[in-house]
């Protein structure tokens, strides 16, 4: 009973210790171990280029280390006989070499093996009741002790597993940070090398382009000179043709004026002829004049045939005879003048008709010549436009070749090409001006022909009005 009473405080202390003692996970600060990442931090998706390959894969991680030694060290009781507890506990259990109370035997030494290795036999005459109770209590105590120790070991293993998990996560986070830093550094190096290679390639391409431009400069200048020479000759020829056309237009204008004058003279002659030939007053006067002449001739002949009378030398008769002879000579002169005027007007009319026909023939020839010149100029202008398009096509091909060489042409080449294009545009404008002048000359010629027709119509109307007025006066 004394030992039982002595064991009771130990059992109570052990129960209190088992109730109050828990193995809490060790607190880790920044200096004691790895930093635990915050719970809100999320890892990036697997397979991302910013995430390093996981280390828990069987194909990438190394063989796990054997923790048998550590497990044995953790699981095996210490040889020092002291329980793994804090310094503030109220008791110490001597598991390996317990010191029994004086005058009693050790229950641990009597119990061997596990708590279930000894089973008390009821009603055993060789075993006292007190010893049986003590053994049962000792067995219960050992069983409780082993249960508490297993629980403590399980809690300690759980804490170690959590610490290992946190350490693995911290190591993985640190490894990912290192991987991201290395990746950023490699990308920076790659970008720097790529920029350097691009600048080097650009420098080489610029040098090659300058060499190509220098090589093509002389042939291009020669080609442009060869193009400018026929253009200058063509411009000179066109200038000469323009001056020739101007002279021809001036001659045509003069001929048209002469034709108009001849036509007016012809109209005057026609009017005079029609007036002289168709006017009844003049015809009556002419007939009367002829009758008077015939009468005077008869009277003169009668006087001449009359025999000499005593009054033949009468001064009155002689005076009357002289007057009649003077009138007769005046009438004859007037008749001769009228005949001469008619002949002269007929000759002038024939000359005017011939000059008018000649002027019309020359106008037709000039018109045909102008049409031929216009067709020739249109043909030359079309050829020039075709050459312009071909030259622009060549220039575009040259631009394309410069673009395929690696860079745009130089400013000097571009300005030269722009100047050539401006010169070609000026030449095109000059040719169009020449064509417009030719068309203007043709239009003026057609206008002159219309004016001639209007003049003829006006002369006809004047003739008809003059005849009507003469008839009215005679009536």
Q: 400 by DSSP, 3-state: which?
A: helix
pLDDT at 19 over 70: no
Whole-number pLDDT of residue 111: 39
Whole-number pLDDT of residue 326: 78
pLDDT at 153 over 60: yes
pLDDT at 246 over 60: yes
Whole-number pLDDT of residue 399: 62
Cα–Cα dist 43/137, whole Å: 55
> At 7, is the pLDDT very low, low, confident or very high (cuts 50, 70, 90)?
very low
Whole-number pLDDT of residue 160: 92
Query: Which pairs from 234-239 meet CB under 8 Å and 24+ separation?
Result: 234/380, 234/384, 235/427, 235/430, 238/377, 238/380, 238/430, 238/431, 238/434
Whole-number pLDDT of residue 83: 41
> At 170, is the pLDDT very low, low, confident or very high (cuts 50, 70, 90)?
very high
> At 172, is the pLDDT very low, low, confident or very high (cuts 50, 70, 90)?
very high
pLDDT at 37 over 70: no
pLDDT at 249 over 60: yes
Who has greater pLDDT, 125 or 399? 399
| CB 45, CB 172: distance < 8 Å | no
Who has greater pLDDT, 226 or 259? 226
Q: What does the DSSP assignment read for 107-158?
A: HHHH--SSTTS--PPTT-TTS-HHHHHHHHHHHHHHHHHHHHHHHHHHHHHH
pLDDT at 185 over 90: yes
pLDDT at 190 over 80: yes
Who has greater pLDDT, 221 or 406? 221
Average pLDDT (297-303) is 68
User: How many Cα atoms sit within 13 Å of 66 on the Cβ side?
Assistant: 3
What share of the chain in percent tops pLDDT 70? 49
> At 274, is the pLDDT very low, low, confident or very high (cuts 50, 70, 90)?
low
Question: How much is the mean pLDDT over the chain?
Answer: 67
Cα separations in angstroms, 184 against 151, 177, 191:
49, 11, 10
Whole-number pLDDT of residue 342: 65
Q: What does the DSSP assignment read for 24-78?
A: PPPP--TTTSPPPPPTT--PPPTT-TTSPPPSSSTTTSPPPPP-HHHHHHHHSPP
């Amino acid at each position: 009973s004394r030992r039982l009473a002595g064991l009771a405080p130990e059992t109570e202390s052990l129960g209190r210790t088992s109730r109050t003692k828990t193995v809490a996970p060790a607190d880790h600060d920044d200096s004691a171990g790895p930093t635990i990442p915050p719970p809100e931090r999320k890892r990036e998706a697997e397979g991302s280029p910013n995430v390093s390959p996981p280390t828990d894969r069987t194909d990438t991680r190394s063989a796990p280390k054997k923790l048998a030694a550590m497990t044995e060290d953790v699981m095996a009781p210490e040889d020092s006989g002291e329980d793994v507890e804090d310094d503030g506990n109220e008791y110490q259990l001597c598991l390996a070499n317990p010191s029994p109370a004086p005058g009693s035997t050790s229950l641990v030494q009597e119990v061997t093996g596990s708590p279930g290795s000894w089973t008390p036999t009821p009603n055993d005459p060789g075993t006292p009741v007190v010893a049986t109770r003590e053994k049962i209590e000792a067995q219960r105590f050992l069983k409780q002790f082993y249960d508490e120790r297993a629980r403590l070991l399980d809690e300690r293993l759980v804490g170690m597993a959590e610490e290992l998990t946190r350490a693995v996560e911290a190591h993985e986070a640190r490894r990912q940070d290192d991987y991201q830093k290395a990746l950023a550094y490699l990308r920076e190096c790659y970008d720097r090398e790529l920029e350097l290679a691009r600048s080097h390639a650009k420098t080489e391409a610029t040098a090659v382009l300058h060499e190509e431009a220098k090589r093509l400069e002389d042939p291009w200048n020669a080609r442009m000179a060869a193009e400018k020479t026929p253009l200058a000759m063509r411009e000179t020829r066109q200038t000469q043709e323009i001056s020739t056309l101007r002279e021809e237009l001036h001659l045509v204008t003069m001929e048209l004026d002469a034709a108009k004058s001849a036509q007016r003279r012809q109209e005057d002659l026609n009017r005079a002829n029609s007036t002289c030939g168709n006017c009844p007053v003049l015809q009556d006067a002419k007939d009367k004049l002829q009758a008077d002449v015939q009468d005077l001739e008869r009277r003169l002949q009668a006087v001449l045939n009359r025999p000499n009378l005593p009054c033949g030398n009468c001064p009155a008769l002689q005076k009357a005879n002289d007057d009649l002879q003077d009138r007769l000579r005046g009438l004859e002169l007037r008749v001769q003048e009228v005949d001469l005027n008619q002949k002269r007007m007929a000759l002038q009319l024939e000359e005017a008709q011939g000059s008018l026909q000649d002027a019309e023939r020359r106008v037709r020839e000039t018109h045909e010549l102008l049409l031929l010149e216009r067709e020739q100029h249109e043909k030359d202008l079309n050829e020039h436009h075709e050459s312009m398009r071909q030259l622009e096509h060549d220039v575009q091909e040259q631009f394309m070749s410069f673009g395929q060489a690696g860079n745009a042409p130089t400013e000097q080449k571009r300005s030269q090409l722009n100047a050539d294009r401006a010169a070609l545009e000026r030449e095109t404008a000059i040719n169009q001006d020449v064509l417009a002048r030719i068309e203007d000359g043709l239009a003026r010629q057609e206008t002159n022909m219309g004016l001639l027709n209007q003049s003829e119509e006006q002369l006809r109307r004047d003739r008809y009005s003059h005849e009507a007025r003469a008839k009215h006066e005679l009536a």
